[in-house]
Chains A and B, each alone.
Chain A
Amino acid sequence: MNTSTQDNFTANTGARVQEASEIVVSNVSKTYGSGPFSKTVIKDCSFTIESNKLTVMIGPSGCGKSTLIQLIAGFETPDTGTITMNGAPITGPGKDRLVLFQESALFPWMTTYDNIMYGPRARGEGLKEAAKQADFLLAKVGLEAFRDKYPTQLSGGMQRRAELARAMINKPEVMILDEPFRGLDNMSKELMWEYYASLYEEDRNTNFFVTTDIDEAIFLADRLLIMSNLPTSTRSVIEIDIPRPRKIDTLADNQRSNEIKKEVMTLLHEEAMKSFSGGSKAAADFLDAYSKRAE
């Protein structure tokens, strides 16, 4: 098992592919509020988003995953610790790290095409090239027929694909996805997994994907970060060595995938139970019994 209790962000000095774009989070803490009303969301959290890998972060819901994304995206700054990208500290939002949010953030007042073109237009760079790229991406995400439709005229899955295209046109070094497929029905969700995985397998850019769904995490990840309950820190890291390309129907029968799933579930249940028990003995006993059963 490749499980280690702390992510070791110096160990991965191995193979570097052409464009390295590595994000290192080291000893980061974040507290909201002050005095008696303060709440520590992240405490002494360290991990690495390795270059040209799909890193998935999973943790009990309500833990500070979204806060971590705000920090990495540069919308907020950590209280202590550092976040660096390719060695340079992150100071604010930038197009090198694009975020896909939980809820669709497509502008409702722009058509699909205008939404996709927004980044290049706002920065005023390479508009001709971008227009070509936009049409290419529209075809790639299967939305040519919806070029001039407004987001509310698209289904949930189509909105997510439009948003993927809006991010990809900017060729971000790192793509950050915050539970992007939450709220989709199971059918479109699985289609989106395969679709997203195939996009990733095509260019192998650095991706950081946050989720609460174990199946989603195992299906997509190269590396899986398992987060602890509040205050969040890295509980464990698992390398998912299932070969690509991956398909939903074959993955269910994959021995290795099932092993990993069991392991992840045990860890996540422990973390979830911690918040559930809140120190009570009965809950602690239950937790104990549960972990025995899992073995």
Chain B
Amino acid sequence: MSSTMKTADVVTNTQGPEVSTLSLTMFRFASWLKSPRPYLMMIGFAIVLGFWYLAVEVWKLPRFEDMPGLTEVFSEWFSKDPYYGLSIFTPEYYLHIGISLRRIAYAFLLATCLGVPLGLFLGWSKNFREFIFPLFEVLRPIPILAWVPLAIIMFAGSESPVIFLTFLASFFATTLNTMLGVESIDESYSRAASCLGASRWQVFRHVVIPGAMPYIFTGLQISIGVAWFSLVAGEMVSGQYGLGYLINTAYMMIEYPKIIIGMITLGIIGFATSAMVRMLGDYLMQWRVRELALGD
């Protein structure tokens, strides 16, 4: 009986030794360096920084005259003895970053721990959705800034209103995407599982959770982005320390280079946190990483 199939349709490049995550990352990085993408990226940065330099310091264009210039900002930022008292060598700089990061961490973790399960159940149970979702849809479009007074009234102290505002934005993004993730799962997976003898609870664990994972991580990416957005908004009106607070006080004290330092720092840290979320997603979804890697 020669029922063993001739492997005529073998995809040859998937045989061979198992690809480790690290070597996959290294391989991607190497091919990224070989592509034109990093150089295009550098040109993009150069254009914006160059325009900033020329507009403020060389051409002195109208409306740009009060702006801090490129050289002024960078020399202040990397100065051992900064004129306005804030550079990468002052502990105060790291205090602002640390406090902001701590608020983000609390808010993001809380939003994830509540939002993911809520989203899973909203997608999973029709009755639960009928009951919660309309309320959710009315609360969600309310801009975070509109919550500011209420947050200050509701929460004592200066710390918790900021965390609450940051949490709120993240929570909506995470919950909604998780729910969409559950809805996106092809019904044939649940049917196949129940056909094979899985209970409803097993279908939830083995099909719904992993199936929704790509959407959950898209949600977490959005969530970390909006978390920074609402954090800065919150820090500008309440609280002490933090990058939003730094920018706002620098504005009031007319220490303009500090505004730009705060902004660039926010950009870099915001990017880093969202990269971390993406890496965690890649780590948890090996099957997807490999699928995408083949498509490259």
| A residues at B contact (CB < 8 Å) | 73, 75, 93-95, 97-99, 101, 103, 105, 107-110, 118-119, 122-123, 139-142, 145-146, 148-158, 161, 166, 170, 187-188, 191, 195, 198-199, 202
**Residues in chain B near residue A154, CB distance under 8 A:** 11, 14
Binds A, one of B46-54, B109-117, B186-194: B186-194
14 contacts between A and B (CB under 8 A): A93-B191, A99-B195, A109-B288, A118-B198, A142-B5, A142-B7, A152-B294, A153-B290, A153-B294, A157-B9, A170-B196, A187-B9, A191-B8, A198-B1
Residues of the B chain whose Cβ atoms lie less than 8 Å from the Cβ of A98: 195-196
Q: A99-B191, A119-B197, A195-B3 are in contact. List 10 more A-B contacts (CB 8 A).
A: A105-B186, A105-B189, A107-B207, A119-B196, A123-B197, A140-B4, A152-B287, A153-B290, A156-B9, A170-B197
Answer yes or no: B211 CB below 8 A from chain A CBs: yes
Taking CB atoms, residues of chain B closer than 8 Å to A95 are: 195-197
Instruction: From B1, B8, B11, B213, give the contact of A109 (CB < 8 A).
Output: B213
Contact B14 A149 (CB under 8 A): yes
B291 at the interface (CB under 8 A from A): yes
A197 to B, closest residue via Cβ: B3
Q: Which chain B residue shows the least CB distance to A198?
A: B3
Residue of A nearest to B213 (CB): A109
- B residues 111-162 near A (Cβ < 8 Å) are none
Contacting A at CB under 8 A, from B1-34, are 1-11, 14-15, 18
CB of A122 within 8 A of CB of B14, answer no
Contact between A191 and B6, CB atoms less than 8 A apart: yes
A95 to B196, CA, bound (A): 5
**Inter-chain contact B188/A195, CB cutoff 8 Å:** no
Is A105's CB under 8 angstroms from B191's CB? yes
Known contacts: A101-B188, A107-B206, A199-B3. The answer to whether A122 contacts B197 by CB under 8 A is: yes
A106, closest chain B residue (CB): B192
A residues less than 8 Å from B265 (CB atoms): none
Whether A141 contacts B196 in the complex (CB less than 8 A), given A109-B213, A152-B294, A153-B290, comes out as: no
Note all chain A residues with C-beta closer than 8 A to B195: 73, 93-95, 97-99
Q: Contacts of B193 on A, CB cut-off 8 Å? A: 107, 118, 122
Name the A residues within 8 Å of B186 (CB-CB): 103, 105
A101–B192 contact, CB under 8 A?
Answer: yes
- Cα distance A234–B288 in the bound complex, in angstroms: 43
Name the contact of B4 in the complex, choosing from A93, A139, A156, A187 (C-beta under 8 A): A139
A101: min CB distance to chain B, Å: 5
Residue of B nearest to A158 (CB): B9
Complex alpha-carbon distance, A107 and B288, angstroms: 12
CB pair B210–A107 under 8 Å, yes or no, is yes
